[in-house]
Amino acid sequence: MGKRGKAVICREWNAPVVVEEVEVESPKRDEVMVQIKAVGVCHSDLSATNGTIPMPPPCVIGHEAAGVVSEVGEGVDDLAAGDHVVISWIPMCGQCRYCVEGRPALCDVAAQATLTLPDGTSRYKDAQGNPLHHMAGVGVMAEYSTVHRDNVIRIDPDVPLDKAALVGCAVMTGVGAALNTAKVKAGSSVAVFGAGGIGLNVIQGAALAGAERIIAVDLADKKLEYAQVFGATHTVNPENDGDAVAKIKELTGGEGADYAFECIGIPATVSQSYEAIRKGGTAVIVGVSKATDTVTLGTFLMPFQEKVLTGSMYGSARPRTDFPRLLNLYKANRLKLDELVTATYGIEDINRAFDDMQQGVNARGVIVL
């Protein structure tokens, strides 16, 4: 039967995105059509429109969404029309080595289905009948979207969907980096480079884990103010306070932090994250840099210091258990979601939402449909 609805499309890299009426195909076997109610505006969406994350146009962007199931395909017996859901941009196939090892964020199917559904085809067609890519295998900045059932996580209907949407990317990625990837210990010290949508969630994840000292580093004072709301105990603006690594060492008894998180995606702060940790500390790279970026690290001290340098993909998410766990923390007033949504937009305002994100005015902007 299909549906028609608006979608945000990147037609050309480095050009404003456009909102067009598209045709959304009905779900095939093991697929689900979702009426999207809220979509977070993530830096990765912008990165998909300028080639930093190479998603070739024409591409429906958006990967942080919540909505209501409108139709299910054959073989989907655990979801029904009317269910409230959050989109996971990782389809957990449950079969590959990584899923079996309990690391579905590294799922091989997810690694392949980055522009289409897992079967390699699109459910979106534009007015000319041409297929459109699905960003990250979902592409949910749209009124309706058909995605694979493995990308859809049912949630309690009492959680507001504009808050729940954020669990689909920023919250999972940030809180998960602290709780799942780094397993931050109570009483520890944490440095966070970048206090945007992801960094703020690393900060609140570290606070949830009981970190004693949480040092937020950013060039925007506005973001450092937000950082304190989410649990930062100290803030560093390198423009006023000088070298961030020196400042972090000063705040951690000269040793360096137990953990550092890079949430920007630039080589300079990747190096600084590694330099800012103590012997035996852990540096976690969350920010997505350009495909051509590299860093140079001194190797002499590596054996002596036993530092750990690791990436964190989607907060090492296990969405089926982590999304409900995070939303339960929200309901128990332990996880801040309301404070994250500092502006809402209509779908037609997406370019303004991107501008605001680049100006650093929001903790998170959300498109409400």
With binding defined as CB under 5 A, does residue 284 bind Zn ion? Answer: no
Nearest approach, Cβ of 95 to Zn ion (angstroms)?
6
- Under rule CB under 5 A, residue 288 binds Zn ion: no
Of the candidate residues 8, 61, 96, 166, the single one contacting Zn ion (CB under 5 A): 96
Cα gap 311→326, rounded to integer Å:
21
For 68, other C-beta atoms within 10 Å of its C-beta total: 15
Residue 6: partners with Cβ closer than 8 Å, 6 or more residues away: 19, 20, 21, 22, 142, 143, 347
Crossing angle of the two packed helices 221-229 and 197-208, in degrees rounded to 10: 30
Minimum distance from CB of 165 to Zn ion (Å)?
Answer: 11
d(Cα 319, Cα 54) in Å, to the nearest integer? Answer: 24
- Stretch of 43-51, 132-140, 200-208, 307-315 lying at the interface with Zn ion (CB under 5 A): 43-51
Supply the DSSP symbol for 150: G
The one segment of 91-99, 125-133, 136-144, 232-240 that binds Zn ion by CB under 5 A: 91-99
Q: Within 13 Å, how many C-alpha atoms sit on residue 83's CB side?
A: 20
**Residue 127 C-beta: closest distance to Zn ion, Å:** 28
Q: Is 41 in the site for Zn ion (CB under 5 A)?
A: no
Contact between 135 and Zn ion by CB under 5 A: the answer reads no
Verify binding: residue 66, Zn ion, rule CB under 5 A. Answer: no
Is 336 buried (19+), middle (13-18) or exposed (0-12) by CB count in 10 A?
buried
Measured over the CA atoms of residue 321, residue 327, residue 329 and residue 335, the dihedral's sign is positive
Minimum CB–partner distance for residue 193 and Zn ion (Å):
17
86 binds Zn ion (CB under 5 A): no
Site string for Zn ion, 99-128 (x = CB under 5 A): x-------x---------------------
**What part of residues 161-200 is at the interface with Zn ion (CB under 5 A)?**
169
Q: Which stretch binds Zn ion (CB under 5 A): 12-20, 40-48, 71-79, 266-274?
A: 40-48
Q: Segment near Zn ion (CB under 5 A), from 2-10, 14-22, 85-93, 218-226?
A: 85-93
Write out the two tokens for 12: 């050309």
Q: Which of 39, 42, 329, 340 binds Zn ion (CB under 5 A)?
A: 42
Residue 293, C-beta contacts closer than 8 angstroms, at least 6 positions apart: 266, 267
Q: How far apart are CA 366 and CA 168, in angstroms?
A: 12
* Of the residues 9, 36, 93, 211, which one makes contact with Zn ion according to CB under 5 A: 93
- Find the shortest distance in angstroms from Cβ 45 to Zn ion: 7
Where does 79-187 have alpha helices with state H? 97-100, 108-112, 161-167, 170-176
Q: Does 88 bind Zn ion (CB under 5 A)?
A: no
Q: Does 44 bind Zn ion (CB under 5 A)?
A: yes
Q: Which is nearer to Zn ion, 167 or 232 (CB)?
A: 167
**Cα torsion angle, 56, 270, 296, 236, sign:** positive
Task: Decide if residue 136 touches Zn ion (CB under 5 A).
Answer: no
Distance CA 168, CA 87 (A): 6
User: Which residue bears the tokens 């060039």?
Assistant: 219
Contact residues for 285 (Cβ-Cβ < 8 A; gap 6+): 262, 270, 273, 309, 310, 311, 312
Cβ(133)–Cβ(60) below 8 Å: yes
Q: Of 34-42, 48-56, 338-346, 352-360, which part binds Zn ion (CB under 5 A)?
A: 34-42
Which is nearer to Zn ion, 169 or 270 (by Cβ)? 169
For Zn ion, give the closer residue by CB, 165 or 227. Answer: 165
Is residue 76 a contact residue for Zn ion (CB under 5 A)?
no
Q: What is the DSSP letter of 185?
A: P
Shortest spacing between CB 306 and Zn ion, in angstroms = 31
Closest approach, Cβ 104 to Zn ion, in A, equals 6
Residues lying near Zn ion in the complex (CB under 5 A): 42, 44, 93, 96, 99, 107, 169
